[in-house]
Structure 1
Amino acid sequence: MALFLRAAVTEVAPLTDRMRAIRLAGESLRGLAWRPGQHIRVNVTPPSRWLRNPGDARRTYSIWDLDPDRGLIDLAVLDHGDGPGSV
């Protein structure tokens, strides 16, 4: 079980007015296995903020698609408006 992995947001595209496709990429994602319906928790604020207020920093997303050979995870994210993950 992987506990902490580092990745970067490499693409963001609108799916609908309130949904966005977000692609994460990173070497630590290579070789991951997953099952449909599995989710991940993402820290969406800088470490200096989430160490003080961890509840504000993490969001849970379902994995839309995973390419373990290329180290890519695709998410479909509902945009709630003005939260920490909206920027």
Structure 2
Amino acid sequence: MKGLRISKLFGRNGIITFESNGAFVIARGRGLPRVMFPGFTDMRGYQAMYRDFARSIRDGRVPEMSLERAIEDQRVMERVYGTIT
């Protein structure tokens, strides 16, 4: 399926398969698989970021995402790509 980002979590009692943008979740373990469709509520994650930023102002704390964290994330990705090329 083009455009979908499928991820899986493997555990001792089953597997959770999900589309990273929230299109669907499939939980398989004991019994029948369970399928859920949470929907596309925050495709790019901006709403969650804005909520956290507003709460950080209200609560007087540092937001979860910062420029420093973004730079470190980018450095990690560059190191990962450097190992596969």
TM-score bracket, normalised by the shorter chain, equals: under 0.3
Q: Which has the higher contact order (CA 8 A, sep 6+)?
A: 1
**Structure with more of its chain in helix, by fraction:** 2
State the TM-score, normalizing by the size of structure 1: 0.26
Greater gyration radius: 2
The alignment's TM-score, normalised by the length of structure 2, stands at 0.27
Higher strand share: 1
